[in-house]
Amino acid sequence: MIQSEQQRRAYLEAMGIDVWLPRDHVDTVDEAVADTEHDVQPTDVLDWPELRARVAACTRCALHEGRTQTVFGVGNPDADWMVIGEAPGAEEDRRGEPFVGRAGKLLDEMLRAIGEARDTVFITNILKCRPPGNRDPKADEAAACRAYLERQVELVNPKIILAVGRIAAQQLLGCDVPVGRLRGKLHQFGDTPMVVTYHPAYLLRSPSQKRKVWDDLCLARRIVAERQA
């Protein structure tokens, strides 16, 4: 007889036997439970249209109550570069596209400086729904959205991830180190090389940091070139 993990745990618990699981196993089981409760198929088998539809219908966290629409991501599904930001703002929520406000215009310029554009890279966020008042994402919101982002990374299979800003960097790396100490070096997100840089909204307030962002972009571009060779 094939027992599901849930059934096995329920039987053991009913027999008074404590079930101890390693931390990442607990995550996997919890995620699978979340998937079967809310969704028909697990997220990691979805193709682009299925993933887009899943995100559009998502009610996994309370942010769905306040959104105008989800903001899935935009760009080339086979991009070498994947840019990951924090969460949609008011303008992105209205238009359904990431980075379309003032910070987005600066991101476009950053991309242009390295010979890329909105439609040659893939741009998305940690969260697909706007947090009210543009507050920071909560841990449970980021966790609820995580499987969507991971599937996007798998499907794009980029040569580099550029994490822009503190929230994206810390969420992707699972740490609380300040961006100033994460930028300027190479990280990994799973098997994908990752570079961290300042968020364009921060650059609008602190333009003197643009030089450092340029250095980060050059580092990322070198990695892409190495992986193309």
Q: Which CB sits closer to ligand URA, 88 or 158?
A: 88
Which residue's beta carbon is nearest to the bound ligand URA? 85
Q: Which CB sits closer to ligand URA, 86 or 116?
A: 86
Interacting residue ranges for ligand URA, rule: CB under 6 A: 85-89, 92, 98-99, 103, 125, 165
Q: Which CB sits closer to ligand URA, 99 or 198?
A: 99
CA–CA gap between residue 105 and residue 108 (Å, rounded)? 5
Question: Please, what is the minimum distance in Å from the beta carbon of residue 104 to ligand URA?
Answer: 6
Question: Please, what is the minimum distance in Å from the beta carbon of residue 86 to ligand URA?
Answer: 3
Q: How far apart, in Å, do the first and last CA atoms of the chain sit?
A: 51
DSSP 143-183: HHHHHHHHHHHHHH--SEEEEESHHHHHHHHT----HHHHT
The amino acid present at 27, given as its one-letter code, is D
Question: Please, what is the minimum distance in Å from the beta carbon of residue 176 to ligand URA?
Answer: 18
Number of C-alpha atoms within 13 angstroms, CB side, residue 164?
28
138-to-26, 34, 43, 104 alpha-carbon distances in Å: 20, 18, 21, 23
DSSP 67-88: -SS----EE-TT-SEEEEES--
For 123, residues 6+ apart whose C-beta sits below 8 A from its C-beta are 73, 74, 75, 82, 83, 85, 98, 99, 107
Question: Please, what is the minimum distance in Å from the beta carbon of residue 106 to ligand URA?
Answer: 10
CA–CA gap between residue 48 and residue 53 (Å, rounded)? 9
Q: Which CB sits closer to ligand URA, 9 or 209?
A: 209
Question: Please, what is the minimum distance in Å from the beta carbon of residue 115 to ligand URA?
Answer: 22
Q: Which CB sits closer to ligand URA, 6 or 121?
A: 121
Question: Please, what is the minimum distance in Å from the beta carbon of residue 113 to ligand URA?
Answer: 19
Q: Which CB sits closer to ligand URA, 75 or 89?
A: 89
